[in-house]
Amino acid sequence: MRIMYKICNIISRGFYKYVIMPFKRAMLRQCGKKVIIGKGSDLTYHNITLGNHVSIGKNAMFMCTRAQIKVGDHVMFGPHVFMITGGHRTDVVGRYMDSVGNGEKLPENDKDIVIEGDNWIGANSIIL
């Protein structure tokens, strides 16, 4: 039974590395060389740019709607890192925040997140 588990694990890791990860890289706005995207990561692919030698840990979440996430070369992300661009309008008096639509956002409500090269973002970090 233990051997069967090891065989299934090797097949699963190989499938992710050679089938799923290249597909995820191709969906990014721009992707450098030697980029690793951990299993379970949830990315808003069309607005994310990754440089060379970027490693994203398991179960990361990078969310961006209008703004972009730009990551330089040689950046490592630990597991469970959250990066979320954009914000909510809090200046509309008399309306609840969730009733203000995305089209009503101001440019200053959505700013890019830029991580320059040679950085390490530790596990469970939240970058807004």
pLDDT score for 106: 78
pLDDT score for 66: 84
Quickly name the fold that domain 2-127 has: UDP N-Acetylglucosamine Acyltransferase; domain 1 (2.160.10)
Domain borders along the chain are 2-127
pLDDT score for 52: 98
Give phi and psi for 127, each to the nearest 5: -120, 120
pLDDT tens string for the chain (128 positions)? Answer: 899 999 999 999 999 999 999 999 999 999 999 999 999 999 998 999 999 999 999 999 999 888 999 999 999 999 999 999 977 777 788 888 778 777 777 777 788 999 999 999 999 999 98
- pTM for this entry: 0.85
pLDDT score for 86: 79
- DSSP for the chain, please give it: -HHHHHHHHHHHHHHIIIIIHHHHHHHSSEE-SS-EE-TT-EE-GGGEEE-SS-EE-TT-EEE-SSS-EEE-SSEEE-TT-EEE--------TTS-GGGS-GGG--GGG---EEE-SSEEE-TT-EE-
